[in-house]
Amino acid sequence: MRKQSQKTVEAPSVEEMEEVRVREYDKERDREAVEEMEKRCELGLQGKPSLSTDLMGDPTCRIRHSPSNLMLVAEYGERKEIVGVIRGCIKTVTRGKKVMSNFPIFAKVAYILGLRVLPTHRRLGIGTKLVEKLEEWCKKESVEYAYMATDCTNEASINLFTLKCAYVKFRTPTVLVQPVHAHYKHIGRGVTIAQLAPQLAESIYRRVFANSEFFPKDIDVILSNKLNLGTFMALPKGTLHKWDLQSGHLPPCFAILSVWNSKEVFKLQVKGVSALKYALCVGSRILDAWMPWLRIPSIPDVFRPFGVYNLYGLHMEGEKGASRLMKSLCTFAHNMASDDPGCGALVAEVGRMDPVREAVPHWRRFSWAEDLWCVKKLSTVENEDKTCGVPNWITSLPSSPVIFFDPRDF
């Protein structure tokens, strides 16, 4: 077990709390200050390797693709300096299925993301106040649950939500990352890959993810978004003409996924690595450029801002060959990304026990096994789950090992 350091943290005084004011983000007056504040937050991570985020355009770009969203800022002192920020979006998702039924249960949830507080103003209760104000908005919108995601090693964030804001540890999906190389990868023989129309993709997704958790009710909006680069299905070669997918009959063996272009929303950048690691990464690219026929798995230049493609809606069926079909789809997506300058990686987030986890190519050094999700019930109606004959979502076991990753949440 990791040893916890025994530090005495003084609670913020009443005077300090009165110095903090939380209000809604104003694009015209706050944009420059928020961008500068978030840069200073990243500077506070220097001294060890870190992954910084550079939003493309307005700071609300990470939530504006959600139907209902809000961004709050925290001001401090007489100068009204912006020292904190938080974002939230609301959607309706599945939370499994009813007992003895195949019909999904839907819940209105809020996803909390982008919480930042200046290093110079931490331990003043600013993060807690931002979360509380966002929850007030969620309750007015009749949200049943709020959840957030963080690295399982981010003790500061975990303690804030679990110890101060009454969230509980809920799910631990796996994040799989594959670097995008300069050369194409070979798609296996005997595989046919077809692009599906958004309407057909929606129909298939609603069937195969009906019993999963966090499948968004507005999947049609996601699939028709300009950032969605398409939905693709892999089948054994020569079998596509045998199945009328429009009729609702799915092949006995297939794999499916969609590709989301996060490169247009934000850029990532690795900072703080040692000179040796930097030289090794540069060397791998030089060797790959000089001897491309060796197909060296060179590491992209992640020390400059780079974008990612998100793979979501990953599903496969069929006892024999389904895993190979999923790997072929991921290879197809890799080749798509290779044609897009500035795309440095593919990212897929799946449930820890989801069968597709073992079929998705990834680098372990870049991936992480547990992405901690914490949840809190916001509904004030007592025992509403019991009266409806539905078990409490937080305390009940998941009805499926599948967790649907919404690309808008990344």
* CATH number of the domain bearing residue 85: 3.40.630.30
407 domain residue, yes or no: no
Together in a domain, 67 and 152? yes
pLDDT tens for 119-172 read: 989 888 999 999 999 999 999 999 999 999 998 888 999 999 999 999 999 999
Q: d(Cα 60, Cα 226) in Å, to the nearest integer?
A: 17
Co-location of 287 and 374 in the same domain: no
CATH number at residue 320: 3.40.630
Domain shared by 163 and 186, yes or no: no
Same domain, 37 and 76: yes
Burial of 198 (0-12, 13-18, 19+ CB in 10 A): middle
Q: Which two tokens stand for residue 205?
A: 């997704």
Which residues constitute the domain of residue 27?
15-173+370-379
Tell whether 304 and 254 lie within a shared domain. Answer: yes
Predicted confidence at residue 387, as pLDDT, reads 43
In a domain, 303, yes or no: yes
Q: Which amino acid is at 18?
A: E
Q: Are residues 115 and 193 in the same domain?
A: no
Letter for the amino acid at 82? I
| 304 in the same domain as 193 | yes
Long-range contacts of 96-104 (CB under 8 A, 24+ apart): 96/211, 96/212, 96/213, 96/393, 96/396, 96/398, 96/399, 96/400, 97/210, 97/211, 97/399, 97/400, 98/389, 98/390, 99/389, 99/391, 102/210, 102/211, 103/210, 104/210, 104/211, 104/215
Tell me: do 156 and 231 sit in the same domain: no
Residue 34: phi, psi to the nearest 5? -65, -40
Q: For 360-377, what is each residue's pLDDT tens digit? A: 999 888 888 789 999 999
Q: Is residue 391 one of the residues assigned to a domain?
A: no
Judge if 234 and 261 occupy the same domain. Answer: yes
Q: Does residue 140 sit in the same domain as residue 117?
A: yes
10 assigned to some structural domain? no
Looking up tokens 């530090």 gives 7
The helix (H) or strand (E) run that includes residue 175 is: strand 174-179
Structure tokens at 43: 């500077």
Q: Does 202 lie in the same domain as 281?
A: yes
**φ, ψ of residue 386 in degrees (nearest 5):** -70, -40
C-alpha Rg value of the chain to the nearest Å? 22
Phi, psi (degrees; rounded to nearest 5) at 160: -60, -50
Question: Cα(53)–Cα(305) distance, rounded to whole angstroms?
Answer: 9
DSSP H or E run through 348: strand 343-350
220 vs 232: CA distance, rounded Å:
15
Q: How many domains does the chain have?
A: 2
- pLDDT tens, position by position, for the chain (410 residues)? 333 334 444 445 545 556 889 999 999 999 999 988 988 886 444 444 566 777 767 788 888 888 899 999 999 988 899 999 999 999 999 998 776 667 789 999 999 999 999 998 988 899 999 999 999 999 999 999 999 999 888 899 999 999 999 999 999 999 999 999 878 888 888 999 999 999 999 999 999 999 999 999 999 999 999 999 999 999 998 877 777 766 668 889 999 999 999 998 888 888 777 788 878 888 888 887 787 777 777 778 878 889 999 999 999 999 788 999 999 999 999 999 999 988 999 999 999 999 999 999 998 888 887 899 999 999 865 444 544 556 689 988 888 899 999 999 98
Same domain, 117 and 211: no
Q: Are 379 and 396 in contact (CB under 8 A)?
A: no
Residue 5 lies in a domain: no
Residue 195 bridge partners (DSSP): 232
In a domain, 267, yes or no: yes
Asked if the structure places residue 3 within a domain, the reply is no
In a domain, 390, yes or no: no
How is residue 112 written in tokens?
């909390």
